Chains A and B, each alone.
Chain A
Amino acid sequence: MLDDFFVRAIVAGLGIAAVTGPLGCFVVWRKLAYFGDTLAHGALLGVTLSLLLNINVALAVFVVAVVVALSLLALQQRSSLSSDALLGMLSHGSLAVGLLALSFMTWVRFDLMGLLFGDLLAVSKTDIALVFVGGGIVLATIAWAWKPLFAVTVNRDLAAAEGYDVAAYDILLMVMLAAVVAIAIKIVGVMLITSLLIIPAGAARRVSTGPVMMAVLAAFVGGVSVLGGLFASLSFNTPSGPSIVAVALILFALGLVIPVGRLLQEQRP
């Protein structure tokens, strides 16, 4: 079954959507959208390193993303600069360094477009294994640490006062984000990872009455976007990554237009 490239694309895409949905909810709740973008930009440096040192791409991207994430946490605590400006510096700084390093490696033939926009139609069985093992670990971690992760998201001081190690859960969330960026980079590309995190979560928000429901719905919206985008890409011969994001955007817009308010009116006694 997995011998067909289209089936492989669907399986890999659905696997990624299942993780980016719930994790994306935390990105949206904690206003980390730009942060996800920064990790993705830093991924180029990871790709360069993997070519230079001849190591696995996902591993190199993961390591670089974790380093970027942890340096941001450290800088935020020390510096008086706004995290917005810090993110901009880290984001474009790491992108520039990555591009520079790449330009020195004249012996490498490298498909920059593939990195920026990914190629879902070229995923291998190994890629799928990576999505399901890595994504499975991230999903299991979210489920296991849901209560503290969510409490820290709602109010840091409250969570800290009532016994949760806030800093540890911050790091956990950053590491999970880095992992998802590393897993998905080859498939959806640098430019589009953030959209798979935030658009399904945004679309799920209006029809959700609780955080768990929103996380599940976001995964569902992501899955529908992957299917819709892939079939659109097949029939209209459009690039797969942008097609998926376009479908997600349409779903988000539909969520804004459809009058769900009456269906989900709050219960009053």
Chain B
Amino acid sequence: MLKRGDPLVRLEGAGVSRAGRWLVRDVDLHVRPGEIVTLIGPNGSGKSTTAKLALGVLAPSAGSVTRRQELKSAYVPQKVHIDWTLPLRVDGLMRLTQSLSEADMEAALNSTGALHLLKREVRHLSGGEFQRVMLARALARKPELLVLDEPVQGVDFSGEIALYELIAQVRDLTGCGILMVSHDLHMVMAATDHVICLNGHVCCHGSPESVVSSSAYKQLFGDRAGALALYQHRHDHQHLPDGRVQHGDGSVTDNCHPGDGHHHGESGRIAHKSFRINRDA
């Protein structure tokens, strides 16, 4: 399904050093249109630094970063602190770097389940709500290159799956290239074409399946990381962003029914395909 073309961004032997210490070095990677590349690695392995190199936020201390001319990028940073002195609402944040029609803004927020937050003050959002808004903002930019640094941190589990599905959908619909940072490969496996495993340098890379089974990956994440249990998880009801519940028959109520449940292996109207690490294996 990969559309071939020149890479949107290409890093060759790229590295960043600060005060004589390498944050990350010798990174080779490229992101083509329609491709999802995922960076994984432990804390401090240089994932965010690599993402910033690709965006041009940081200049490489060594090697080279080549980006396509006039490349339109969008970015969801790992950490954004909004000080209390800044009176910024969600609609203001959506329009931070772009002009946006009311309709486009609402459509983007709706796609990430954040439309009800439109007039809320940004600094009062929960971590998960904030990530949904940041993702909507990035999608509304209609970028050619989308860089997502831990885009679903703080989002609840079922929301996390839905957002990763959305990210994959956006790639399919718009053909943009996506560079994603994650600490959990199993969460993003389904939506990833190419995985780069970092630990100060590139440890291993390839398709998700080949990286999971590689010895370098097992060394970094331990043997248990390889034990992956896959099962299908079906809901007969869905929790809407405003707290109400939509049932299998389409009706909406304020709470779950006593008989509602999360049924494994049964068929339901709304089904999520999900991956989970079986920690006990």
Contact = CB atoms under 8 A, between A and B. Distances in A.
Given A164-B97, A214-B87, A267-B119, A155 B92 contact: no
Grouping DSSP codes into helix (H, G, I), strand (E, B) and loop, the A interface class, with mixed when no group exceeds half, is: helix
B128 to A, nearest CB: 17
A257 B116 CA distance: 31
Interface in B111-141: 116, 119-121, 124, 141
Interface in B72-101: 72-75, 77, 80, 82-89, 92-93, 96-98
B55 A161 contact: yes
B156 interface: no
Interface residues of B, number: 32
A20 to B, nearest CB: 16
A22 to B, nearest CB: 14
Nearest to A153: B86
B103 interface: no
A214 B170 CA distance: 36
A155 B137 CA distance: 14
A211 B97 contact: no
Contact of B97 (A163, A202, A210): A163
Given A158-B77, A160-B56, A162-B141, A269 B86 contact: no
A158 B89 contact: no
B57 A208 contact: no
A164 to B, nearest CB: 7
A154 B133 CA distance: 15
B52 interface: yes
A255 B59 CA distance: 44
Q: Which interface class (under 10, 10 to 19, 20 to 34, 35 or more) fits A? A: 20 to 34
Contacts of B120: 266, 268
Grouping DSSP codes into helix (H, G, I), strand (E, B) and loop, the B interface class, with mixed when no group exceeds half, is: loop
Interface in A144-174: 147, 150-151, 153-155, 157-164
Contacts of B147: 161
A151 B92 contact: no
B87 A211 contact: yes
A154 B86 CA distance: 8
A269 B124 CA distance: 16
A161 B56 contact: yes
Given A161-B55, A164-B97, A266-B119, A29 B75 contact: no
B116 A266 contact: no
A208 B98 CA distance: 22
The listed residue with most B CB atoms (<10 A of its CB), out of A151, A158, A208, is: A158
A259 B57 CA distance: 42
A210 B96 contact: no
13 contacts: A29-B86, A147-B96, A154-B82, A154-B86, A154-B96, A157-B55, A161-B52, A164-B97, A208-B87, A209-B121, A210-B89, A211-B88, A266-B119
Given A155-B80, A210-B87, A211-B86, 14 more contacts: A28-B85, A29-B85, A151-B96, A154-B86, A157-B52, A160-B56, A161-B147, A162-B73, A162-B74, A162-B75, A202-B85, A208-B87, A209-B87, A210-B92
Interface of B: 19, 52, 55-57, 72-75, 77, 80, 82-89, 92-93, 96-98, 116, 119-121, 124, 141, 147, 242
